[in-house]
Amino acid sequence: MDAHASDAASPVLSLSAVSKAYHNGRARIVLRNVDLALQAGEYVAIMGESGVGKSTLLNLIAGLDHPDGGRIAFEGQDVSAMDDDDATLLRRRAMGFVFQAFHVLPHLSVAQNVALPLRLNDVAHGAADLRVAAMLAEVGLAGRGDERPGVLSGGELQRVAIARALVHRPRLLLADEPTGNLDPDTAAHVLQLLRERIRASGAAAILVTHSARAAATTDRILRLTPDGLVPDAPPTQIGP
């Protein structure tokens, strides 16, 4: 796996000259000239001002939206050229998501929530149950699979979301401000868990965050600016 990760010639994800504009009334360019190469197993943080287009960028990568220019390739396949069904199937097989609002389905049990990606991928019930139990143990929720999401705390909900995001062994994990709704201590725990789990799974991951502390848990920090994605400025600029 390490050998694969160091193979710089074939990144898991590569963006070249991606641009995106929204047209409501008049065109508003959000992303311009975004380049990115992400190796297998690499964990990067993307920071940037509110409204600069971080979530938009993740949506483009996930195939939930189409760029106006440039190319997004996932494992060599052009995501931006896929139709909705192909993009959906790619997401289903190869990607995982963690959201700021946890988006845990309220009517399903914790285990059922975690099992969702396995169900979508047609994993047999027996194997799925074992995998879900193991995943819950990994995020510290062993034995709580039968509980309803309504009784869980915010930190616990986000751990369920992390388990769900990784249960089907995706090759890319996208997390959009996963700790935005959590208090600092819980956030630190969740970030540590996220890092551990990503490492263990060998997936590449992008963490979008406003927090320097959160970003520091990743391998590499990038900053999204109106002119593109640039390496983060030296630590002196981060603040007092």
Partner 1 sequence: MSTLRSLTLTLLAGEIGARPWRALIGVLAIAIGVAMGYAVQLINHAALTEFSRTAGSLMGNADLEIRGPRGGFDETLYPRLARLPEVAAASPVVEVEAWLPAQRQTLKLLGVDVFRAAQVTPGLVGRPAQPDGGRLNLLAPDALFLSPATLAALGLQAGSTLTVQLGLKTVRLRVAGALPALGEGLRLGVMDIGAAQWQLDRLGLLQRIDLRLAPGVDVDAFARTLHDILPAGVVAATPRDTLQGTSSLSRAYRVNLNVLALVALFTGAFLVFSTQALSVLRRRSQLALLRALGMTRRELLRLLLTEGATLGFFGALLGLGLGLMLAAAALRYAGGDLGGGYFDGVRPSLHPEPLATLLFLALGILAATLGSLLPAWEAAHARPAQALKAGDEEVALRRLHIPWSGLATIAAALLLTQAGPVGELPVFGYLAIALLLVGAIIAMPQLAQAVFGRLPLARRLPVQLAFAQLVGAPGRAAIGLAGILASFSLMASMVIMVASFRQSVDDWLGAILPAPLYLRATPGGEAGYFTDAAQQRIVATPGVNRAEFLRTGQLLLDARRPPVALLARQVDPRHPGRRLPLVGLPLVPGPEESAPIWVSEAMVDLYGFRSGRLVALPIAGRSVTFLVAGVWRDYARQYGAVVMQLNDYRRLTHDRRVSDAALWLTPGATPALVAQRLRRQLAGGEQVQYLLPGEIHAVSMSIFDRSFAITYLLEVVAVLVGVIGIAASFSAQALARTREFGVLRHLGVTRRQISAMLALEGGLLALLGVTAGLLLGWAIALILIHVVNPQSFHWSMDLMMPWRSLALLAIALVAAAALTALFSGRRAMSGSAVRAVKEDW
Contact between 102 and partner 1 (CB under 8 A)? yes
Residue 222: in which H helix or E strand, if any?
A: strand 220-225
Q: CB of 75: closest distance to ligand ATP in angstroms?
A: 24
Give the total of residues touching partner 1 (CB under 8 A): 40
Spatial contact of 71 and 16, defined as CB atoms under 8 Å apart: yes
Contact between 55 and Mg ion (CB under 5 A)? yes
Cα separation, 158 vs 194, in Å, equals 10
Cα separation, 72 vs 63, in Å, equals 9
CA atoms within 13 A on the CB side of 31: 30
Among 26-34, 70-78, 111-119, 134-142, which window interacts with partner 1 (CB under 8 A)? 111-119
Contact between 149 and partner 1 (CB under 8 A)? yes
Contact between 59 and Mg ion (CB under 5 A)? no
Contact between 201 and ligand ATP (CB under 6 A)? no
Work out what residue 128 binds among partner 1, Mg ion, ligand ATP, none; the CB cut-off runs from 5 to 8 Å by kind: partner 1
Work out what residue 117 binds among ligand ATP, partner 1, Mg ion, none; the CB cut-off runs from 5 to 8 Å by kind: partner 1
Q: What contacts 232, CB < 8 A, 6 or more positions away? A: 47, 215, 221, 222, 223
Residue 221's φ and ψ, nearest 5 degrees, are -115, 130
Q: Which residues bind ligand ATP (CB under 6 A)?
A: 22, 24, 30, 48, 50-56
